[in-house]
Structure 1
């Protein structure tokens, strides 16, 4: 059975998109609604910079159609500031901040590591053991939040779902033959990152899904993807899907308004391949 494919953009609120991708005069509050009628998914990246609120997640859920899926980017306080150490309470606060309000539109959690963090199996294993693997476990973890979330926490799961976690690595030490089996043993997906940067390029599928982030092939966060490049990515994604893996793919080349057009172009190609 073929896996499902979700393609979208990393975030959706970018001023340069207004009047280019978004129609002139479209209210900012309707931008997600508009994008969700063009694409099937989006990464929530505001959660990387600060804890969001349950009412935000509820609004995002309600503004999007049935079948739309959000992936949620893990807090940089956990990944970049704490560097995965002593993160029990920060993790509880993150899961209490409202992510469970997405209900059945909740997709994977993305944990992006800083470029300076080296491959350390013991550190990663400890972190992976703390991650909830279903919404019930996430609700239990959320209930352990500290006083900073008092009065604004969501600690109940209204749907029962398994949870997926994906790791994006940026230090060359992760180019290690032990990494794929290590991640498989912990049920963690490995992000395949296309970027004009000295980050590892890894295509191993280490869970029951593949996760792709397209940051710009020649200019980080800016350059678009040619027709030939989109064809190649469509072929990779179709191959993973045909092998039974679900696939999530997001364009992060937002600076020159290439992300939405590239995402739509890739989505069209993947759909065409699936029909052949």
Structure 2
């Protein structure tokens, strides 16, 4: 994935996308296959709500083209309920399921912590101590106290990616100097609903130049997410072709 950014969505099963993205007569059971014809990555959020099995991930693996990549969210039992406490065995099990289920199609492993999870040195040390560094680990915070140099420095030293977010009342910084560029667009000002303008997407597109990683649109409670993803994908493809022809 060197110098390549994969663009996709955090959901695909969406009735608002019919006639906008999915053809009118396409049955819903064929929606994911259609999605895979237009995007080369998907952020799998189902594992956040229910601990996955190898069989479940194998099924998703088998549905996708050879070059497809999944980013997979860590179960909320680990990040929201236990908040990493006494989670070493559980997290190791999750890593193993990801490794054996997604195999070479595993992109990143996403840890999303709740808004109540504020910064402390102890929590930072816990994160660093628990992660398996054989995987591409991405951490998404929802509390502004994590936006600090101590965290960023520790993450860089340990090959951890700090997730860039577009989320109400959080900094919109695009972090480009971590192992991956990993961006999640949740919708601002209306969470999960708001669309991003062409100007905003063009500014983002410039930030993607010569980077590798993932951009996911999670503003999928309406048609906004798929339209934004398609527009950014077109912009990024045009940039790539322009740069290639200039060589």
Structures share fold, TM-score greater than 0.5:
yes
Matched residues, number = 242
Partner of 1:156: none
* Residues 1:252 and 2:223 are matched in the alignment: no
Please show how residues 86-165 of structure 1 align to structure 2 within 5 Å.
86-97=86-97, 100-134=100-134, 163-165=135-137
RMSD: 1.9
Partner of 1:167: 139
* Residues 1:23 and 2:23 are matched in the alignment: yes
- Return the alpha-carbon distance in structure 2 between the equivalents of residues 108 and 2 of structure 1: 14
- Return the alpha-carbon distance in structure 1 between the equivalents of residues 131 and 28 of structure 2: 34
Contact 1:61 1:105 in 2 (8 A): yes
Partner of 1:152: none
Contact 2:22 2:34 in 1 (8 A): yes
Q: Deviations over 1:95-128 (max 9, x none)?
A: 3445522111110011111111111233232233
Please show how residues 254-269 of structure 1 align to structure 2 within 5 Å.
254-269=220-235
Partner of 1:147: none
Q: Deviations over 1:177-221 (max 9, x none)?
A: 2221111112110111012x1224333335321100011133210
* Residues 1:213 and 2:184 are matched in the alignment: yes
* Residues 1:230 and 2:201 are matched in the alignment: yes
Contact 2:98 2:106 in 1 (8 A): no
Deviates more, 1:54-63 or 1:107-116: 54-63
Instruction: Could you tell me which runs of 5 or more consecutive residues in structure 2 were left unpaired when the two chains were aligned.
Output: 243-247
Partner of 2:239: 273
Instruction: Could you tell me which runs of 5 or more consecutive residues in structure 1 were left unpaired when the two chains were aligned.
Output: 135-162
Q: Deviations over 1:136-158 (max 9, x none)?
A: xxxxxxxxxxxxxxxxxxxxxxx
Contact 1:32 1:60 in 2 (8 A): no
Partner of 1:194: 166
Pick the aligned partner of 2:149 from 177, 197, 213. Answer: 177
- Return the alpha-carbon distance in structure 2 between the equivalents of residues 16 and 99 of structure 1: 33
- Return the alpha-carbon distance in structure 2 between the equivalents of residues 104 and 180 of structure 1: 28
* Residues 1:81 and 2:87 are matched in the alignment: no
Q: Deviations over 1:26-45 (max 9, x none)?
A: 33332221101111111000
TM-score, reference length from structure 2 = 0.90
